Amino acid sequence: DAGVTQSPTHLIKTRGQQVTLRCSPKSGHDTVSWYQQALGQGPQFIFQYYEEEERQRGNFPDRFSGHQFPNYSSELNVNALLLGDSALYLCASSLLPRSYGYTFGSGTRLTVV
């Protein structure tokens, strides 16, 4: 049974560029949450998607946007990249929005130069 799959694993982008990260949730899960984890810090909540809608958003600017597809997979888009966007981006899936039984993927390491 596959867990949460994220792609790509690593990415290097230049300031000002745009990036798209992808996530396939664990089989049977219908809710996807995205977190940003800076080096030496705990994950910070970006937003959560359920039924193809953004259900809640953390303190991140509009440059961060997302999408959920009918098969429950999700994308995270970041526009106008800043050096400070360099981090590990984690996708977590769960069954239903209010379930805290998250399964995390291994993340996408984004480096902005």
Partner 1 sequence: QKEVEQDPGPLSVPEGAIVSLNCTYSNSAFQYFMWYRQYSRKGPELLMYTYSSGNKEDGRFTAQVDKSSKYISLFIRDSQPSDSATYLCAIGRTGFQKLVFGTGTRLLVSP
Chain contacts with partner 1 (rule: CB under 8 A):
4, 33, 35, 40-45, 48, 55-56, 58, 90, 92, 97-98, 100-107
SS3 call for 64: strand
For residue 94, the minimal CB distance to partner 1 (Å) is 9
Comparison of 78 and 93: residue with beta carbon closer to partner 1: 93
Q: Which residue's CB is nearer to partner 1, number 66 or number 105?
A: 105
What is d(CA 40, CA 21) in angstroms, rounded to the nearest whole number? 22
Residues 104/6, Cβ–Cβ less than 8 Å: no
Distance CA 86, CA 4 (A): 21
Q: Looking at residue 17, what DSSP letter applies?
A: -
Query: C-beta of 64: minimal distance to partner 1 in Å?
Result: 14
- Residue closer to partner 1, measured from CB, 17 or 27: 27
Nearest CB to partner 1, comparing residues 18 and 106: 106
Which residue from 110, 95, 79 is spatially nearest to 33, judged by alpha carbons?
95
- In the complex, the smallest distance separating the C-beta of residue 16 from partner 1, rounded to whole angstroms, is 28
